[in-house]
Chain A
């Protein structure tokens, strides 16, 4: 088998794995958009916030310690204990639910009935707020994130030797595939199945779908919009936490995490804002597309094409199909 083709296959596989991570972030967008019509720009920062909170709780950091030190002149920074990963994740979920409630109570309840674009800008404001808030709360230095069940059973990292060996036997060239990416894929599959089961078979999930379908009709059969919105933001917060863990373990918990999440936007545009399968397929297309483009065309034009390829692809695609791959057809009337 020619060498270039083998390399291309490896790039393709890595693209698929990266795509899964994009899709994870995009999922959170779709959930909120479907239920409340809010295009939540802050989803990426929510992932950052969740990951920072998780690390902070794990390491027993004192929240706002920098601020307290600056105001009171003290020198506190850690409680001096370490929290078990599972407990820390549960606590972080609690924080995300609280965040969902606060966002609903203090922001979007006051913006009901505004134009979608105003809501969109409000979420940009929310993104800035959360980013500054997270930095104030936990400090802005780059943190490493390790999620461990016991001392030896952490999130696996590094090259997957089994795949390396198997492909070496087949092609004479070992593929480099990160263990973490494989884990992320499995987690993503579990998460999506859980979401599907939740929205198909539970009472709250059905109520959520009803709200997504028609606010007025949902209200008239006795569904509390407020509760559903808090629920949806909580679920999106949970998805953000999962995405934050995966991205954070991959490249450290730092500000650039929220920029990676920006890439979820073209994913959404490809897949359509209202479709969960669309988010996944869109994520895979973007992941594979940008890796292949960088591999094939990148060297010719100076590299680093990953910065913009996803956006341009989405732009070109949208010109031909404005509602995305799986989006609902847009019907315009006066």
Chain B
């Protein structure tokens, strides 16, 4: 009825190449942006920010990053938790050693540092492929977590071994530390998410993204037609590392505030982000958001239904959650290997004809 291409004429290259070629999509996108920037900040409270919005936004950035590596470039990584830890610790060191610089730049630089670390651990990908690489990235996960645990310089020799985010402000409004307001932290993360999504979207439909996809689909063939595998793989690791690092920095400084590395950035975090992109959709920007939203909401919903309504003990609900997540992963891989994003695409195709299917 509403979802139509008919009458939507493209008269210039710019309109032909835009991200949302269908008018209805464009309207939807602007509505979402308007709600996110102009409505939610006024009605958000601490519970909603901490339980849903902040984790969703931060995981969405991590999922975007991992999706570039796994979904677009085909290099499976199980080291996301370790790389998020690099972002967090880089951010902490920057915040404490250069307090006069704005936190905004700290987060960006932490992303850059994580990108570099990611490239170092990505170098073996030139020789190691498939599962071997997946297991090799586990080396990054365990080594990095161990490093941040054992070398006191990283946590400024604090007695507890934890890192705590000091108070930092943007335009005079605190975004980290104990005295933050829900709307400020929310907006701060939202800006990063929107910019990341824009960058990711434009990278993946340009030259870089096409090279990554060529490598993913068949690396030898890609090499023969002139894609430099070194550059393609390393750039994928770097970009992915940047996003993951930004998300790790935000996760520590804005969301948690205090971090113990083994707990916050353990191997489970790596799997969580990997599951987000499998459920959301490998090789899709929308999928990263959908997967992050799904896996952030699922525990909250289960807790509300299981613990608050049915009165079950929390440990049973936690176990049930594992069963459900595992089952869903398998179900998605069997029924729809391209995840929620593909379901959305199929729905849109159906909508184009609806309600007159001929």
A interface vs B, CB < 8 Å? 39, 66-67, 70-71, 107, 110-111, 114, 116-118, 120-122, 124-133, 135-136, 140, 259, 262, 265-266, 268-269, 273, 301-305, 307-308, 311-312, 314-315, 318-319, 322, 332-334
Closest chain-B Cβ to A70's Cβ sits at a distance in Å of: 4
Give the size of the chain B interface in residues (CB under 8 angstroms).
52
Nearest chain B residue, comparing its CB with the CB of A136: B319
Please provide the chain B residues from 67 to 83 with a CB less than 8 Å away from any CB of chain A in the complex: 74, 76
Are the C-beta atoms of A322 and B127 separated by less than 8 Å? yes
Given A114-B337, A311-B139: A120 and B327 within 8 A (CB)? no
Closest chain-A Cβ to B89's Cβ sits at a distance in Å of: 16
Given A111-B334, A333-B220: A120 and B326 within 8 A (CB)? no
Closest chain-B Cβ to A99's Cβ sits at a distance in Å of: 14
Question: Is residue B21 within 8 Å, beta carbon to beta carbon, of the partner chain?
Answer: no
Collect the chain A residues with CB atoms within 8 Å of residue B337's CB. Answer: 114, 118
Are the C-beta atoms of A116 and B131 separated by less than 8 Å? yes
Given A120-B131, A302-B151: A132 and B330 within 8 A (CB)? no
Collect the chain A residues with CB atoms within 8 Å of residue B151's CB. Answer: 302
Closest chain-B Cβ to A327's Cβ sits at a distance in Å of: 9
Please provide the chain B residues from 142 to 195 with a CB less than 8 Å away from any CB of chain A in the complex: 142-143, 145-146, 149-151
Are the C-beta atoms of B124 and A39 separated by less than 8 Å? no
Are the C-beta atoms of A136 and B320 separated by less than 8 Å? yes
Collect the chain A residues with CB atoms within 8 Å of residue B274's CB. Answer: 121, 124
Nearest chain B residue, comparing its CB with the CB of A311: B139
Are the C-beta atoms of B330 and A129 separated by less than 8 Å? yes
Dominant secondary structure of chain A at its interface with chain B: helix
Are the C-beta atoms of A125 and B326 separated by less than 8 Å? yes
Collect the chain B residues with CB atoms within 8 Å of residue A126's CB. Answer: 326, 330
Residue in B311, B313, B326, B337 whose Cβ sees the most chain A Cβ within 10 Å: B326
Question: Is residue B278 within 8 Å, beta carbon to beta carbon, of the partner chain?
Answer: yes
Are the C-beta atoms of A334 and B224 separated by less than 8 Å? yes
Collect the chain B residues with CB atoms within 8 Å of residue A135's CB. Answer: 315, 319, 322
Give the complex CA separation of A304 and B74 in angstroms: 33
Give the complex CA separation of A268 and B124 in angstroms: 17
Question: Is residue B136 within 8 Å, beta carbon to beta carbon, of the partner chain?
Answer: yes
Give the complex CA separation of A102 and B234 in angstroms: 41
Question: Is residue B105 within 8 Å, beta carbon to beta carbon, of the partner chain?
Answer: no
From B128, B149, B271, B323, give the contact of A136 (CB < 8 A): B323
Given A70-B312, A110-B334, A124-B271: A129 and B146 within 8 A (CB)? no
Are the C-beta atoms of A334 and B322 separated by less than 8 Å? no
Residue in B124, B322, B337 whose Cβ sees the most chain A Cβ within 10 Å: B322
Closest chain-B Cβ to A298's Cβ sits at a distance in Å of: 10
Give the complex CA separation of A112 and B287 in angstroms: 25
Nearest chain A residue, comparing its CB with the CB of B330: A125
Give the complex CA separation of A135 and B322 in angstroms: 9
Nearest chain A residue, comparing its CB with the CB of B128: A318
Q: Which 8 residue pairs are nearest across A and B when measured between Cβ atoms?
A: A132-B322, A129-B326, A125-B329, A128-B326, A311-B139, A132-B323, A308-B142, A302-B150
Question: Is residue B256 within 8 Å, beta carbon to beta carbon, of the partner chain?
Answer: no
Please provide the chain B residues from 306 to 340 with a CB less than 8 Å away from any CB of chain A in the complex: 310-313, 315-316, 319-330, 333-334, 337
Collect the chain B residues with CB atoms within 8 Å of residue A124's CB. Answer: 271, 274-275, 329
Question: Is residue B351 within 8 Å, beta carbon to beta carbon, of the partner chain?
Answer: no
Closest chain-B Cβ to A58's Cβ sits at a distance in Å of: 21
Give the complex CA separation of A110 and B337 in angstroms: 12
Question: Is residue B221 within 8 Å, beta carbon to beta carbon, of the partner chain?
Answer: yes
Give the complex CA separation of A107 and B330 in angstroms: 7
Collect the chain A residues with CB atoms within 8 Å of residue B323's CB. Answer: 128-129, 132-133, 136
Are the C-beta atoms of B131 and A128 separated by less than 8 Å? no
Question: Is residue B227 within 8 Å, beta carbon to beta carbon, of the partner chain?
Answer: no
Are the C-beta atoms of A129 and B333 separated by less than 8 Å? no
Given A132-B319, A332-B220: A122 and B333 within 8 A (CB)? yes
Give the complex CA separation of A120 and B132 in angstroms: 11
Collect the chain A residues with CB atoms within 8 Å of residue B327's CB. Answer: 125, 129
Nearest chain A residue, comparing its CB with the CB of B327: A129
Collect the chain B residues with CB atoms within 8 Å of residue A130's CB. Answer: 326
